[in-house]
Chains A and B, each alone.
Chain A
Amino acid sequence: MILCPVGPGAAPKMDMARYWGYTAIWNILDYPAAVFPVSQVQEKEDSTRGPILNEQDAWNWKQCTTQMSYISNV
């Protein structure tokens, strides 16, 4: 089985859920996918990462770095 993210972040701000790739790929492939909770967002997270990949990646990363104070499930 493949273990992967359900989405590109924890619960987004209103109107900011704009990246479907992590879930929609299993619809186009028609593979079954189960979701289970693991943890919640913590005050301090290790935010080291590789280079920004593209415009979408830059947009998504910005949603995170400006909103690290939120609490939600991952």
Chain B
Amino acid sequence: MYDQAIERARYLDSLPEPIGPLHGLPLSVKEHLWIKGLPCNAGFVSWIASPAPETNNGVLDIMLSLGVVPFCRTPQPQTIMHLSCNNNITGKTVCPYNRTLTSGGSSGGEGALIAMKGSCVGLGTDIGGSVRSPAANCGIYSLRESALRLPMSGMTMAMPGAESIRAVLGPMCASARDIQMFMQHALDTEPWKKDQTLVAIPWRKPTLGKKIKVAIMWDDGVVVPHPPVTRALKEVKAAMEKYPDLFEISEWKALDHNLGWEIIAGLYFMDGAAQDLKAMADSGEPIDPLTAFIIKENKFVKDHTITEVWEVPSSTFFETDSRNINKEMHTGINTGTTSAATPIDQT
């Protein structure tokens, strides 16, 4: 991969003009995203010898058209479904600030590498926190944008056709400005013209009201965060309070987040995790404790028939609870508080 990267960098250097706004920018890439001609194991031992893909990941193709130089692949956990980063191929990825702790995951390699200044921008994926947990654990920036903004083509994972809960590919960066730059340039290429699954929404600047309304959710009503997390929220609140003309601060009461978890936990492995379990059984690799946690100890995992797929409570949730939350987001009225969020701009 390094040879390819050097070759591309030399080629870009030889050109009279930059080929795009990200000309020559090194880019790190999460393991399961396809790079043409290179093997892709997606964290499973039995998939190490899989044939190399003949195409690139869709977002990687966009980034290449803008001029980047992909230079390394970064680790992910077995099954991708850990907020941590251990697999039986590359081993444990740890937090650069304390190596007894996890980098977070599943895009844990990106989190650790970017925190160590080994990369300034990387491609991660997220279906339950996988670009956000490593960003938080490693002290970098990331974005889980709305689904269907960026292509999801060209990646290896179990149940690639599953649609009940959508993964997204999002940027992991060294600064907030980098995230903005990534999304701006990526959507400026109008990826929906090549990938019909995407929504044709350009990267928009939000129109903010006179004041930015921020509602603070101190906890989710299920698990109270550890003191350092609560202190961090207080620090952000105090920082905003210094600008009373700019911010209107209120509190957000979480609505039945436990129900949200029960539903999503059932949507993750709608084949009863059959494909994940087979991928591990094929090599006989040890099952990681967090794989056991999310598959075997997760009481919401079961194999569904097609009929059952259409009967799962996701639709109920989206039509009742979710819509209520949407309504609250848009009207700014949140149960238990006097005022809350500003209408959401999908930028």
Contacts and interface: CB of A to CB of B under 8 A. Distances in A.
B232 interface: yes
Interface string A12-26: 111111111111111
Contacts of A70: 98, 100-101
Contacts of B257: 21, 25
Contacts of A64: 226-227
B232 A56 contact: no
Interface string B106-129: 000000000000000000001111
Interface stretch (B132-140, B153-161, B190-198): B132-140
Nearest to A30: B147
B139 A45 contact: no
A63 to B, nearest CB: 8
Interface string B137-148: 111111111110
B104 A47 contact: no
B219 A5 contact: yes
* Chain A interface mostly: loop
B38 interface: no
B341 interface: yes
A35 to B, nearest CB: 4
Interface size grouping (class) on chain B = 35 or more
B228 A10 contact: yes
A57 B222 contact: yes
A73 B260 contact: no
B322 A32 contact: no
B95 interface: yes
A16 to B, nearest CB: 8
B129 A20 contact: yes
B133 A23 contact: yes
A5 B225 contact: yes
Interface string A32-64: 111111111110011101100110110011011
B49 interface: no
Interface string B77-111: 00000111010000010110110111111000000
Contacts of B222: 21, 53-54, 56-57
Nearest to A50: B224
Nearest to B231: A45
Given A8-B223, A14-B100, A28-B260, A34 B141 contact: yes
B287 interface: no
Given A3-B236, A14-B92, A53 B215 contact: no
B289 A15 contact: yes
B128 A57 contact: no
7 A-B pairs with the lowest CB-CB distances in the bound complex, closest first: A23-B129, A73-B139, A6-B136, A11-B137, A9-B226, A4-B217, A45-B227
17 contacts: A1-B213, A3-B216, A4-B217, A4-B233, A8-B224, A8-B226, A11-B104, A13-B102, A14-B84, A17-B84, A21-B261, A27-B144, A30-B146, A37-B141, A53-B222, A61-B224, A63-B226
